[in-house]
Amino acid sequence: MLRRLYQRHVTRALIIATAVFLLLIAFPLISQYLKERMPKEPKKNLQENVLMDAPPLDETKPPPPPPPPEAPPPPPPKLTTIKFTPPVVKKDEEVKKEEVPDQEELKDKTVATVTVKGNTDAPDLSELASGEGDKVVEEVVENKVYTYVEQMPQLPGGGGNGAIVAAIQKATKYPPLALRNQVEGRIFVSFTVNAQGDVSDVKVVKGLGSGLDEETIRAVKTLPKFIPGKQNGRAVSVSFTVPITFKIQ
């Protein structure tokens, strides 16, 4: 009786062990089969953003020609005048005989010290107020912003555009947001140096975001007073566009 029960238990255990072994072998095959039958997601086409350099400044553009001189005004027309000599008490031998015009000749004529034949239709300019003579008219300074002039604006220490870019780079600080997102690259910023040497109209032409644009504008506004640019010996406003590079060290 015991031997019969033992034989039954051994057979049952062998069947269970064989079934478990077969399941362990078949599970990877079933998993691979199901994975191949599942639909695949299309791959996203990610394009890398390529930063383009700003166009170079046209430094060969000649300055505009000076305005032509104004033509002198035409001379006023001559008026017809009649010589009239006021009576003076003199000796007979000193008196010169001169023709005295009658009242009809003096009508519509201007009384003067000499007789002149002129335009009777010309307006009478005797009542016009006297001007200020040959006073030099000051040149009108136009509020034009140049991109290139004879004498470009300079920082107090000189150095040209390289010194300007270096001063802006030195004043910048990497924003924490850009550091966390690992954002780096080049920003193009434009600004104007007016005739007094002050920096104005600061704006980003091509930025990167993540706080780098705002930091670049802040750094440009910290620049010291410039030596103004000059055109034809006169201080004028000049615009700049410079690249500022941000790189995580």
d(CA 186, CA 207): 8
> How many separate domains does the chain show?
1
In terms of pTM, does the model score above 0.85? Answer: no
**In a domain? residue 159:** yes
Structural domain for 185, as ranges: 145-246
Q: What is the pLDDT along the chain (249 residues), one digit of tens a residue?
A: 666 777 788 888 889 988 888 888 888 888 887 777 776 655 555 455 555 666 566 556 667 777 888 878 777 766 666 555 565 555 566 656 655 556 566 555 665 555 556 555 555 555 555 555 555 444 445 578 999 999 999 998 888 889 999 999 999 999 999 888 888 899 999 999 999 999 999 999 998 888 999 999 999 999 999 999 999 999 999 999 999 999 887
**In a domain? residue 229:** yes
**In a domain? residue 241:** yes
Element (DSSP H or E) covering residue 239: strand 234-246
**In a domain? residue 187:** yes
Tally the residues of the chain: 249
**In a domain? residue 3:** no
> Which residue from 158, 157, 155, 159 is spatially nearest to 191, judged by alpha carbons?
155
**In a domain? residue 48:** no
Q: Are 152 and 237 in contact (CB under 8 A)?
A: no
> Which residue from 234, 161, 158, 150 is spatially nearest to 191, judged by alpha carbons?
161
**In a domain? residue 2:** no
**In a domain? residue 179:** yes
CATH of the domain at 166: 3.30.2420
